[in-house]
């Protein structure tokens, strides 16, 4: 049985005070929550404050990105060890905004995934097709290419530690959600890929989140699909009530 996992990707939003307030609000609201994992991923500059605000709670904290090198002359970057040091358990890698705005390739993401696993962070690895790719019937090919490239060379043990997020690019921040059937089709395909590249135990145990305009009113139906194990939530993770509405849909 896969435990549902709801993560909030705050992207480049919030100021320090509102980040602390939101994190503390989520920590409080989830105090009696059972059987669901919850994490928040604030901008890196607020990680320290958010780790403090969620201390003693069940809420995990994740970075939104990192660089694969351990240290050195990489102006503006942060390392996996820094994320761990500040108190993170998770790191989002290969988000479509990283891929499409900042030009990250599957090879870049693969290096990051390996380094994150080495230090003990759980990578949330994002895959997803653009609208033209979907319209030309390329969705499953794109997912396969991203899976093969971003997760290349992982051992069975490493693969078990990964969380995958399927995020169709056309559904991110657009208010357009993949239908539960569209999402389920890709999630099932990802499981088949894992079964063929690894084995059925891994295919059955790895959690696959859906992301792309998840809201309180569509969460339960999406999360009710047999192969959707959670959500990576952008806009609706910025308000405690909305985020809690989505978490309620996972129960």
Residues in Cβ contact with 56 at an 8 Å cutoff, skipping those fewer than 6 apart: 27
Number of residues that bind ligand PGA (CB under 6 A): 13
**Contact with ligand PGA (CB under 6 A): which of 167, 184, 229, 242?**
167
Please count the other Cβ atoms lying within 10 Å of the Cβ belonging to residue 204. Answer: 13
Return the range that interacts with ligand PGA (CB under 6 A); candidates 16-24, 138-146, 166-174, 217-225: 166-174
Please enumerate, as own/partner, the contacts of 224-229 that have beta carbons within 8 Å and a separation of 24 or more. 224/180, 225/180, 225/183, 225/184, 225/187, 226/184, 227/184, 227/187, 227/188, 227/190, 227/191, 228/180, 228/183, 228/184, 228/187, 229/2, 229/3, 229/4, 229/5
Based on the shown chain and the rule CB under 6 A, indicate whether residue 172 belongs to the binding site for ligand PGA: yes
**Is 95 tagged catalytic?**
yes
Based on the shown chain and the rule CB under 6 A, indicate whether residue 91 belongs to the binding site for ligand PGA: no
Q: In the complex, what is the shortest distance from the CB of residue 58 to ligand PGA, in angstroms, rounded to a whole number? A: 21
Based on the shown chain and the rule CB under 6 A, indicate whether residue 217 belongs to the binding site for ligand PGA: no
Which CB atom, from 80 or from 128, has the smaller least distance to ligand PGA?
Answer: 128
Q: In the complex, what is the shortest distance from the CB of residue 239 to ligand PGA, in angstroms, rounded to a whole number? A: 12
Based on the shown chain and the rule CB under 6 A, indicate whether residue 214 belongs to the binding site for ligand PGA: yes
Query: Would you state the structure tokens that stand for residue 59, as one six-digit string?
Result: 């809420």
Q: In the complex, what is the shortest distance from the CB of residue 178 to ligand PGA, in angstroms, rounded to a whole number? A: 11
Based on the shown chain and the rule CB under 6 A, indicate whether residue 233 belongs to the binding site for ligand PGA: yes
Known catalytic residues are 95, 167
Query: Where does this chain bind ligand PGA (CB under 6 A)?
Result: 9, 167, 172-173, 211-214, 232-236
């Amino acid at each position: 049985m896969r435990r549902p996992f709801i993560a909030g990707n705050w992207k480049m939003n919030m100021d320090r005070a509102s980040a602390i307030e939101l994190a503390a609000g989520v920590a409080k609201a989830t105090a009696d929550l059972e059987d669901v994992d919850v994490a928040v991923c604030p901008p890196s500059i607020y990680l320290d404050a958010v780790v403090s605000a969620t201390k003693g709670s069940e809420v995990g904290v994740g970075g939104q990105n990192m660089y694969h090198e351990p240290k050195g002359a990489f102006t503006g970057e942060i390392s996996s060890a820094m994320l761990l040091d500040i108190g993170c358990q998770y790191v989002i890698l290969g988000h479509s905004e990283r891929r499409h705005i900042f030009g990250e390739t599957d090879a870049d993401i693969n290096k990051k995934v390996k380094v994150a696993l080495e230090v003990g962070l759980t990578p949330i690895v994002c895959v997803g097709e653009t609208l033209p790719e979907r319209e030309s019937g390329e969705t499953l090919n794109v997912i396969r290419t991203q899976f093969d490239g971003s997760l290349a060379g992982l051992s069975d043990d490493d693969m078990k530690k990964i969380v995958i997020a399927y995020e169709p690019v056309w559904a991110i921040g657009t208010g357009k959600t993949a239908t539960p059937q569209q999402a389920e089709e890709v999630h099932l395909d990802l499981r088949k890929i894992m079964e063929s590249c690894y084995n059925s135990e891994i295919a059955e145990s790895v959690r696959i989140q859906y992301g792309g305009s998840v809201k309180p009113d569509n969460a339960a139906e999406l999360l009710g699909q047999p192969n959707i194990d959670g959500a990576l939530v952008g806009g609706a993770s910025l308000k405690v009530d909305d985020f809690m509405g989505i978490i309620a849909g996972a129960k």
